[in-house]
Structure formats: C-alpha cells, structure tokens
C-alpha cells in the first residue's frame, strides 16, 4: 500500500496566502521522510475547500476504500476541508479502512495519542456546531410555521404566494377533490379512484398518493412542524369532515393484508423485458394446503395497458439454476454476454471518462513542472470538470449497472451456488440472492401449439 499526499491549490488566493505548491510539497515530503512513509502518490485539486466534491479528493477516498492507501498526509487542515464536520467524517472513513491521517503544520498523527486527542476534541466541537445549527434552523422553521409561512417544497394542490403562504392551485385542487368524491360518494376504493383519475384525467400521481395526501395536515388547512400542528394557516383542499370520512373508509376497507411480510426470494431483483421496470410480488394463498404461491408481475405494464408480464417464482428458480450451471467464465469481462446498443454507448462513455482523467493528470504534471501558468491550470481544470460532469450525468441517465466482479470472484460465486443453493432454507436463499445478485433479466417465449411458456434468463448482474 502507498502514502497519499493531498495538495489543494486555490489559485485565486495563492499569492495572498503565501502557500505555494512547492512549499506544500516540500513540507509534506520532508514529513513523510521523517515518518518513514513511502510509495508516495500525489492528489492535486484546483478550487475551494467548501465541500468534498473535488475530483482528486474523491479519487483519493476511492483508493482508500480499495485498500491502496495506508496513510493520508496533508499540509494543513484548511487545505482539506473548511467544515469541521466534513473533516471528522473523512477521518472516521479513513479509520474504518485502517488508513492513518497526518497534518504537517497542525502536528496531527492519528497513530499517536496526542493526535487522537486533538481529533476527539475537534469532533466534540464539530458535533456541537452541527447541533447548534440544527436547533437554530428547527426553531426558525417552527416560528415561521406559526405565522403561516411555508418553507418546504410546495405540496400538490397549492401554489406559493409572494409572501410564502400556501394558496389554492384551482386546477390541481379540482382533480384531487374529484378523486375524493369518487371514494366518498361513488364507493370507489383508493386504488380504484387513482386508476380512474389516471385513465380519464392523465394525472401522474403514484398509486398511494391519495392515502398520503389525506394524512397530510396541509390538505385540511394546517401546517405541522416538529410534531406540532398550527391550525387554519391557509385555505384547505377538503373539509375536516371529508378528511375524517376518508380515513374512516380507509380503516373499514383495511384487511390487514398489508401487515403480512413475505420471504420472497427475488425481491426487487427481476426486470420486465418490455419496459425494464422492476417486477412486484404477487401472492395468492391455496386453500387446500394453506400455502402461498409466489409470482412476480409488472405493475407498470398493467397500468399502461400493455401485454401482461408475469413469471412464477419456482420457474425463475429453475431458470436461475440452469443459468448459473451454464455460466461461462472465459472472457467474462468483455464477451460473456452480447451488449445491446445502450451498453455499448455506456462503454464508450467510460472510455471517454478514462481519457479525461489521463488528460487531467497531464495538465497537472505540466503545471508542477512550471510549463503552464496558474490561470491556464484553472481554465483547463474547469473545462475538464464540466466535460466530466456531462459524461457522468449521461451515464447516470442510462443507468447501466456494470459488472465489477473479477473472474476469480465470479468463479467462487458459481461454485458456491452450485454446491449449496438447493440445500438452503427459504430464508437462506433470500439472503443469498439479495447479497450477490443485483438484477435478473428474463425472456418469456410461448411454445408453438401450446398454452405453455418457456422462461430463459438473458442476463444476470452481480454485486
């Protein structure tokens, strides 16, 4: 393992502060030599220390997590973080991964009792600072709430006035009141009212929106903060009588089924082959032997009127056992499964990201060797950061989960699955699948001349 030296360059204030890069590096390297810290790896960031969203800082912390770094050395605490709370979080993270922390000017060395004492004192101050800020914010929000001033995101059915008070949004209020009327006057269930509104008025509510909405104090003209209700702060969407009636209907319709917990093996792991949504559990009870039958279905396809997608849990289990027994380890990283267009695009973006990181390293080396001015360094660093952010955002939108298992790890997982899976209890199977499998993709094909279907797994993404 190596030693990370972290240098932050604030080009705008560097002359004013009198801390040049050379000064920082010389002091840190001298400290490393004195302490016998070797295998030096440099991390350099340009810009403010107001938060931890810095490229090389994040790269350094990732290397710590991977076990590549055993000590982090900095010139001075304010070169790293301006927030004591951020500093303590970082030190706790280093401690978790058995990585030491050193600050040359502040004379902090977590391997010594004095250094640990300094950090503990700093932690106490940081906790006090955090609690004080939290109390002030909470008290201020409470005071504003008693005056009818709204300080959070605006709830459905309302707009925010220039005075920051909730006022009725007539269009949204009309839709919500229509849904409530269907339940109270027409006998609709909450889910039935939601589906009616979605089909006939195109609302983009979630299936449990109405249940949550009737329990929200703003719906009946009140504001709740810290468990305390301030009454009649604004015009209500529905009357208290209607809200109480809706709650009574909800209570009378409640069967207790929601309280049941099922040990479904593939919980939130199965992806729909039509819309890529996560399939949800569907449970039916067989009266004869009083056992539960588990299957998974796509509620999104059902809601949008597409062809039904469902698969039973026993069929999925058999398909997974077959998939794992036939899983080839040769060329796993690149040719195990054919990439679709989306995955190919993701791989191309990943290559661009690697090129950007190499470009950043070249620029920093040029600046260190005085082949580039401070202004040019700042200019190019900002350009690279913007380009990197654009690529990362595009990758996030694509949402491709990449396989990060080595061939050796995958081989061990395959052997473990083949040797033990079928002998596990149901709860043990659930724990095994949840721990090692991130996504399971399948395809259902109708057999010629039959009403039966064949289910094949097309892709498995591992943690």
Residues 110 and 169 in one domain: no
Is 96 in contact with 81 (CB distance < 8 Å)? no
Quick check: 267 and 435 in contact, CB under 8 A? no
> Is the pLDDT reported for residue 135 higher than 60?
yes
**31 and 95 belong to one structural domain:** yes
Domain boundary among 254, 270, 288: 254
DSSP for residue 450: S
At 236, which CATH number?
Answer: 3.90.1750.20
Residues 6+ apart with CB under 8 A from 26: none
Summary mean pLDDT of the chain: 81
The answer to whether residues 279 and 265 touch, using CB atoms and an 8 Å cutoff, is: no
pLDDT at 334 over 60: no
Do residues 108 and 172 both lie within one domain? no
CA distances for 411 relative to 316, 408, 460, 462, angstroms: 22, 5, 14, 12
State whether 121 and 58 are in the same domain: yes
Last residue of a domain, one of 130, 147, 179: 130
Task: Give the pLDDT of residue 400.
Answer: 47
Beta bridge partners of 462: 437
Confidence of residue 259 (pLDDT cuts 50, 70, 90): very low
Instruction: Give dist(CA 162, CA 357) in Å, integer.
Output: 46
- Whether residue 388 lies inside any domain: the answer is yes
449 occurs within a structural domain: no
Of 380, 398, 416, which marks where a domain is finished?
398
Q: What is the mean pLDDT of residues 361-374?
A: 71
Examine the domain organization and report whether 121 and 172 are in the same domain. Answer: no
Instruction: Answer yes or no: do 123 and 11 share one domain.
Output: yes
Shared domain for 107 and 173, answered yes or no, is no
Confidence at 312, pLDDT banded by 50, 70, 90: very high
- Name, of 14-28, 30-44, 85-99, the range with top average pLDDT: 30-44
Q: What pLDDT digit, counting tens, does each position of 393-444 carry?
A: 777 666 544 445 667 778 888 888 888 888 888 888 988 898 889 899 999 8
Give the pLDDT confidence score for residue 338 in this predicted structure.
42
What is the maximum span of the chain, computed from C-alpha positions, in angstroms?
Answer: 83
Instruction: Determine, yes or no, domain membership for 174.
Output: yes
Do residues 119 and 163 both lie within one domain? no
pLDDT digits (tens, 9 = 90+) for 185-225: 888 888 889 989 998 999 989 888 999 999 999 999 999 98
- Total domains present in the chain: 3
12 lies in the same domain as 114:
yes
Would the pLDDT of 52 be above 60? yes
Domain match, 16 and 109 both: yes
Two tokens, residue 84:
């004591």
Rounded-to-integer distance, Cα 19 and Cα 80, Å: 14
User: Is residue 267 in a domain?
Assistant: no
Of 85-94, 232-241, 285-294, 340-349, give the range with the top mean pLDDT: 232-241
**pLDDT on residue 72:** 92
pLDDT category of residue 343 using cuts at 50, 70 and 90: low
Question: What pLDDT does residue 369 have?
Answer: 66
Domain range for 349: 340-398
CATH number at residue 50: 3.40.50.1390
Does any domain span residue 351?
yes
Decide if 279 is inside a domain.
no
Q: What is residue 219's predicted lDDT score, i.e. its pLDDT?
A: 96
- Is 437 within the bounds of a domain? no
Distance CA 351, CA 402 (A): 14
The residue among 313, 280, 317 whose CA lies nearest residue 297 is: 280
Q: Confidence band (pLDDT; 50, 70, 90) for 129?
A: low
In this structure, are 126 and 42 located in the same domain?
yes
What is the sign, positive or negative, of the torsion defined by CA atoms of 41, 47, 52, 53?
Answer: negative
- How far is 410 from 461, CA to CA, in rounded Å? 11
* 169 and 82 share one domain: no
Is residue 310 in some structural domain?
A: no
**Residue spans of alpha helices (H) in 147-258:** 170-186, 190-201, 209-214, 240-253
Burial pattern 100-135, b for ≥16 Cβ within 10 A else e, equals bbbbbbeebbbeeeebeebbeebbeebeeeeeeeee
């Amino acid at each position: 393992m190596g030693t990370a030296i972290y240098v932050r360059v604030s080009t705008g204030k560097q002359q004013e502060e009198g801390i040049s890069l050379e000064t920082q590096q010389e002091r840190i390297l001298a400290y490393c030599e004195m302490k016998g810290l070797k295998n030096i790896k440099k991390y350099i960031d340009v810009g403010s220390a107001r938060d931890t969203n810095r490229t090389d800082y994040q790269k350094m912390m990732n290397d710590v997590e991977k076990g590549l770094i055993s000590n982090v050395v900095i010139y001075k605490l304010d070169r790293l973080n301006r927030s004591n709370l951020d500093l303590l979080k970082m030190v706790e993270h280093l401690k978790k991964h058995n990585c030491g922390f050193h600050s040359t000017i502040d004379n902090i060395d977590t391997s010594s009792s004095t250094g640990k004492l300094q950090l503990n004192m700093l932690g106490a101050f940081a906790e006090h600072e955090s609690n004080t800020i939290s109390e002030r914010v909470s008290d201020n929000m409470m005071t504003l709430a008693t005056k009818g001033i709204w300080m959070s995101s605006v709830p459905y059915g309302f707009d925010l006035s220039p005075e920051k008070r909730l006022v009725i949004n007539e269009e949204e209020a009309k839709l919500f009141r229509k849904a409530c009327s269907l339940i109270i006057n027409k006998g609709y269930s909450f889910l039935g009212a939601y589906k009616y509104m979605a089909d006939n008025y195109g609302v983009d509510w979630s299936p449990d929106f109405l249940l949550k909405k009737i329990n929200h104090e703003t719906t009946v003209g009140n504001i709740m903060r810290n468990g305390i209700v301030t009454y009649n702060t604004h015009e209500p969407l529905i009357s208290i009588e209607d809200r109480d009636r809706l709650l009574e209907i909800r209570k009378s319709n409640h069967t207790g089924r929601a309280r049941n917990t099922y040990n479904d093996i593939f919980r939130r792991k199965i992806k729909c082959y039509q819309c890529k949504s996560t399939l949800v559990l569907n449970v039916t009870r067989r009266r004869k032997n009083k056992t539960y039958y588990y299957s998974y279905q796509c509620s999104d396809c059902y809601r949008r009127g597409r062809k039904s997608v469902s698969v039973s849990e026993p069929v999925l289990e058999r398909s997974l056992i077959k998939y794992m027994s036939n899983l080839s380890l040769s060329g796993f990283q690149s040719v195990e499964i054919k990439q679709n267009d989306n995955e190919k695009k993701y791989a191309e973006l990943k290559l661009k990201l690697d090129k950007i990181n190499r470009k950043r390293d070249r620029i920093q080396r040029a600046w260190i060797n005085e082949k580039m001015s401070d202004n040019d360094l700042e200019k190019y660093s900002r350009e690279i950061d913007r380009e990197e952010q654009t690529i990362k955002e595009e990758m996030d939108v694509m949402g491709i989960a990449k396989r990060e298992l080595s061939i050796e790890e995958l081989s061990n997982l395959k052997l473990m699955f083949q040797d033990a899976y079928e002998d596990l209890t149901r709860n043990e199977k659930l724990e095994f699948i949840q721990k090692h499998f991130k996504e399971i993709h399948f395809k259902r094909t109708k057999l010629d001349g039959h009403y039966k279907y064949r289910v094949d797994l097309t892709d498995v993404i591992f943690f």
